[in-house]
């Protein structure tokens, strides 16, 4: 979650079946060759999986709206020889949020949950194994070739977005194998689609970011949460960075990548754990959860030193009725060393309301 965080949020909900293992073509391993468009689809042998889209509408100087949509799938471990179409082999979740900026700024969010047998035609929710298509009730995210299409009639707001590709896929980590902890097994297959052209049904335009990740990992026992950014820079480049925190706020693991814009943007520079540092600045305390979140950060990476600043402090999501946690995720700006805005994207912070307990 998102990079690493989505896997951690869902891993606690279900244990894999005894003796279960992924077939060779779906194993989470270094060197696995990812193939598209098939790998935009679901990997049902993987324990956890998510499709995650964030972005903004408006102008670079004055964004008016931020949006976030995430679909999760968690394998329950129910015996695969149970052929009932009602067998809950998977749980499906979805989160959506809308941030309106300006004088009457507000942050709205909604969530859904359903059991899924794995039947690709199930009415309550399903995901395709052949390509990028996931649906939960009337909420949907679908790969339509040149673009992703998102339709979310949520409570209090709606998302109707087309996210058009402008750059090649970004394979995070080592050709899509992304470490999320000090052990090799703590990893995922992680693909990002950056610098997507976001178009809303009302004609508003902006930029978006989409992550697809699948994994068998669980949260390291020493970790209580993480901080993560995914930023589209105005020069066409893209910056990912994250740290995984221990209880004493020390860093257990870190990573990320940068990819330049322009004609040579097919490859990315992956960051090593000792190359990424997050330094907390100003904090905001949630009146709902009482959690104190750093809403301003200094982020140091091989790509340079940046400041990250939330465009609205109150972007906390209470997802206890679905994935069971409270976290902060919101539209933020990226500033260079001179204090100039050079990009926009999303910041996510977990483990501040309470340590994540996933084992």
Q: Could you report the per-residue pLDDT of 273-287, keeping only the tens digit for each?
A: 999 999 999 999 999
Alpha-carbon gap, residue 7 to 22, rounded angstroms: 17
Q: Are 299 and 275 in contact (CB under 8 A)?
A: no
Q: Taking the alpha carbons of 28, 32, 34, 39 in that order, is the dihedral positive or negative?
A: negative
Q: Which of 284, 307, 309, 316 is nearest to 99 (CA)?
A: 316
**From the centroid of its chain, how far is CA 166?**
20
Query: Cα–Cα distances in Å, from 75 out to 87, 95, 178, 187, 262?
Result: 12, 18, 20, 17, 39
Residues 170, 179: contact at Cβ < 8 Å? Answer: no
What pLDDT does 220 receive? 80
Can you say how many angstroms the Cα of residue 67 is from the centroid of all Cα atoms in its chain? 12
Q: Which domains does the chain have, with CATH numbers?
A: 4-349 (2.40.370.10)
pLDDT of residue 10: 43
Q: Rounded to whole angstroms, what are the CA distances from 204 to 57, 168, 170, 200, 333?
A: 6, 24, 26, 5, 19
DSSP state of 356: -
* Cα–Cα distance measured from residue 13 to residue 63, given in angstroms and rounded to the nearest whole number: 36
| Signed CA dihedral, 58, 341, 207, 264: sign only | positive
Mean pLDDT, each 10-residue run in order, the chain (359 residues): 43 38 63 95 94 98 97 80 68 96 96 91 93 97 98 97 97 94 91 98 97 85 92 98 94 96 74 97 96 98 98 91 80 97 97 70
Q: Residues 180, 186: contact at Cβ < 8 Å?
A: yes
Query: What integer pLDDT is reported at residue 264 of this predicted model?
Result: 56
Is residue 100 exposed (0-12), middle (13-18) or buried (19+ Cβ within 10 Å)?
Answer: middle
Cis bond upstream, residue 85 (ω within 30): no
Query: What pLDDT score does 4 carry?
Result: 41
Q: Which residues, including other chains, have CB under 8 Å from residue 232's CB and lie 6 or more apart?
A: 194, 195, 207, 208, 209, 238, 343, 344, 345
Task: Classify the C-alpha dihedral 107-228-166-172 as positive or negative.
Answer: negative
231: closest CA among 274, 261, 267? 261
Q: Which 3 state secondary structure label does DSSP give 4?
A: helix
């Amino acid at each position: 979650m998102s990079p690493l965080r989505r896997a951690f949020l869902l891993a606690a909900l279900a244990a894999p079946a005894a003796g279960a293992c992924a077939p060779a073509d779906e194993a989470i391993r270094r060197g696995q060759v990812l193939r598209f468009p098939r790998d935009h689809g679901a990997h049902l042998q993987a324990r956890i999986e998510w499709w995650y889209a964030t972005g903004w509408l408006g102008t670079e100087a004055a964004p008016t709206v931020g949006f976030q949509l995430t679909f999760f799938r968690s394998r329950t471990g129910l015996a695969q020889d149970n052929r009932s179409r009602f067998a809950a082999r998977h749980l499906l979740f979805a989160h959506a949020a809308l941030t309106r900026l300006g004088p009457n700024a507000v942050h709205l969010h909604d969530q859904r949950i359903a059991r899924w047998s794995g039947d690709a035609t199930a009415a309550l929710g399903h995901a395709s194994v052949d390509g990028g298509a996931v649906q939960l009730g009337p909420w949907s995210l679908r790969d339509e070739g040149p673009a992703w299409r998102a339709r979310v009639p949520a409570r209090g707001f709606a998302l109707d977005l087309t996210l058009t590709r402008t750059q090649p896929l970004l394979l995070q980590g080592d050709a899509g194998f992304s470490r999320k902890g000090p052990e090799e097994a703590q990893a995922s297959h992680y693909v990002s689609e950056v610098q997507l052209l976001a178009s809303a049904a009302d004609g508003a335009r902006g930029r978006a970011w989409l992550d697809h990740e699948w994994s068998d990992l669980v949260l390291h026992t020493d970790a209580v949460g993480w901080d993560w950014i995914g930023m589209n820079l105005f020069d066409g480049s893209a910056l990912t960075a994250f740290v995984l925190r221990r209880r004493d706020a020390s860093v257990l693991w870190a990573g990320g990548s940068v990819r330049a814009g322009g004609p040579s943007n097919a490859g990315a520079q992956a960051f090593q754990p000792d190359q990424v540092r997050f330094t907390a600045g100003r904090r905001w305390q949630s009146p709902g959860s009482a959690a104190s979140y750093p809403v301003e950060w200094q982020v140091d990476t091989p790509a340079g030193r940046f400041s990250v600043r939330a465009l609205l402090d109150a972007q906390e999501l209470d997802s206890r009725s679905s994935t069971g946690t409270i976290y902060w995720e919101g539209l933020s700006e990226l500033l260079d060393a001179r204090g100039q805005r050079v990009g926009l994207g999303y910041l996510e912070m977990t483990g501040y309301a309470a340590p994540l307990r996933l084992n």
